Structure 1
Amino acid sequence: MEWLQYLLLLVCPLMMIFMMKGHSHGGGHKHHNSSKELDSKISVLENENKRLQKEINTLSSMIKKN
């Protein structure tokens, strides 16, 4: 009966390995972006950040005037 205890101890990590493997390959999710795609997304975010910073500065100066 001692082997049953060891078997139960080994089952948990093995099940976890199979479950994690199933999560990473299932569902059809694609997380492989090319370098150009990432650069493009970063550029869009940087431009949006600049625009928002200008808007914040404009609103801050309007508040200070009032």
Structure 2
Amino acid sequence: MEWLSYVLLLLCPLMMIFCMKGHMGGHKHHESHSSTDLSKKMMNLESDNEQLRKEIDALSTLVKKES
């Protein structure tokens, strides 16, 4: 029965190693977000925002003309 406690004692750090290895593997996938990639996304969002502002202005002038 003493061997069971040793097995459980050794099993805990081994499981921790495998879990940490799994977490590190997942972070490598997210490292693809470089600053240039984020800059491109930011520029796209800014241009979309500008386009939406223009559409809102056009719609609000249309509503004012109809009133």
TM-score by length of 1: 0.52
2:33 to 31, 34, 57: 31
Using the aligned pairs only, state the percent identity.
Answer: 10
**How far apart are residue 20 of structure 1 and its match?**
1.5
The 4+ residue runs of structure 1 with deviation greater than 6 A are none
Which consecutive unaligned segments of at least 5 residues does structure 1 have? Answer: none
Q: Which has the larger radius of gyration?
A: 2
Q: Deviations over 1:12-46 (max 9, x none)?
A: 322111011112225xx721123753542342132
Structure with the largest fraction of helix: 2
Which consecutive unaligned segments of at least 5 residues does structure 2 have? Answer: none
3-state SS of the aligned residue for 1:30? coil
The yes-or-no answer on 1:3 pairing with 2:6 is yes
